[in-house]
Amino acid sequence: MDAFQSRKDDVTLHLISWEDRWPQLVTGFSTRKEGFSQAPYSGLNCGLHVGDSIDTVIENRKKLAHLVGFPFDTWTCGEQVHGNQVKIVTEEEIGSGRISHKDAIKGIDGLLTDKKGVFLASFYADCVPVFFYARSKEVIGIAHAGWKGTTSRIVEQMLHTLEKNWGVLPQDVFAAIGPSIHECCYEVNNVVMDQVREVLGPDREKVIHMTSDDKGMLNLQETNRILLEKAGVLPDHIELSQLCTGCNTDLFFSHRKEGGKTGRMIAFIGLKEV
């Protein structure tokens, strides 16, 4: 069984082990099932910036908010620029980006908060969502890690911010790597592989399998897992989904498999007000 599974609906996948262990958490990943969008965004497209009707995307987001039981007003989103900048959500920023991409928190790919009742949402069609939970201080986070975010070490930036602001050490952090494009579907060129080689050193052998002189299949999930472990996160504190967005276009949007014009799922995490 995957770390991410549906509970009562087939539309959302939940990070079961975290939610069962810590009932104050709501965390998971949406699928493309149901929803109101038409092709090529059919159906539960949550991306406002992909060319779909804005009103429809907002309807989709509200449907999802209802399904996961977290008020839409509290959805807080970063701009997601494939960088490694991390932001602790301020009171004024709660709700940013939920109805307009322009209002998302600028230049930010990683969000952290210890505020209860805030729903962190970020958007995906192949990139890797990395979830964070520092239980000792009740801090939650989400990082958007495509190959650029991964190789600019966004997971380390998340851990660094957790330690600097809350004094949480990496060994006290739980992390989870969500559904995303896997090695089976993710062929990359030397530009990408050189970045990965530089970041991982000898561990590169574990994540790149060459298919020709200048192309290879890349395992971005394992790349992020190795970076988390190198930074001090304990191996048994890391959950990893085996779900490939490229292999499952009935369930997920895939930028790679669908030629770039498609919708977005969301990765979400929130602490309930109890």
Least distance (Å) from Zn ion to the CB of residue 185?
A: 3
The window from 49-57, 83-91, 124-132, 176-184 that contacts Zn ion (CB under 5 A) reads 176-184
Which token pair is 253?
Answer: 């949007």
Least distance (Å) from Zn ion to the CB of residue 82?
A: 21
For Zn ion, how many residues bind (rule: CB under 5 A)? 6
Least distance (Å) from Zn ion to the CB of residue 257?
A: 8
- What would the x/- binding string for Zn ion be over residues 178 to 207, using CB under 5 A? ----x-xx----------------------
Distance in angstroms (rounded) separating the CA atoms of residues 111 and 79: 10
Q: Which is nearer to Zn ion, 151 or 180 (CB)?
A: 180
Burial class (CB in 10 A: 0-12, 13-18, 19+), 3: buried
Q: Which amino acid is it at 87?
A: K
**Can you tell me which residue has the tokens 């399998």?**
209
Beta carbons within 8 Å of 107's beta carbon, 6+ residues apart? 79, 81, 83, 85
Looking at residue 177, what DSSP letter applies?
Answer: E
Which residue in 141, 246, 263, 270 binds Zn ion (CB under 5 A)?
Answer: 246
Least distance (Å) from Zn ion to the CB of residue 31?
A: 16
Which token pair is 181?
Answer: 């494009």
Least distance (Å) from Zn ion to the CB of residue 245?
A: 8
Burial class (CB in 10 A: 0-12, 13-18, 19+), 164: exposed
Distance in angstroms (rounded) separating the CA atoms of residues 85 and 104: 14
Q: Which is nearer to Zn ion, 27 or 219 (CB)?
A: 219
Q: Based on the shown chain and the rule CB under 5 A, indicate whether residue 217 belongs to the binding site for Zn ion.
A: no
Task: Give buried/exposed letters for 247-256 (b at 16+ CB in 10 A, else e).
Answer: eeeebbbbbb
Which residue in 199, 244, 266, 267 binds Zn ion (CB under 5 A)?
Answer: 244
Distance in angstroms (rounded) separating the CA atoms of residues 18 and 86: 23
The window from 64-72, 94-102, 201-209, 244-252 that contacts Zn ion (CB under 5 A) reads 244-252
Distance in angstroms (rounded) separating the CA atoms of residues 187 and 38: 29
SS3 category, 74: helix
Q: Based on the shown chain and the rule CB under 5 A, indicate whether residue 54 belongs to the binding site for Zn ion.
A: no
Least distance (Å) from Zn ion to the CB of residue 59?
A: 30
Q: Where are the beta strands (DSSP E) in 10-167?
A: 12-15, 25-30, 75-76, 86-88, 110-113, 119-124, 128-134, 139-145
Least distance (Å) from Zn ion to the CB of residue 29?
A: 16
The window from 18-26, 46-54, 193-201, 240-248 that contacts Zn ion (CB under 5 A) reads 240-248
The window from 26-34, 127-135, 177-185, 225-233 that contacts Zn ion (CB under 5 A) reads 177-185
- What would the x/- binding string for Zn ion be over residues 124 to 163, using CB under 5 A? ----------------------------------------
Least distance (Å) from Zn ion to the CB of residue 19?
A: 26
Binding footprint of Zn ion on the chain (CB under 5 A): 182, 184-185, 244, 246-247
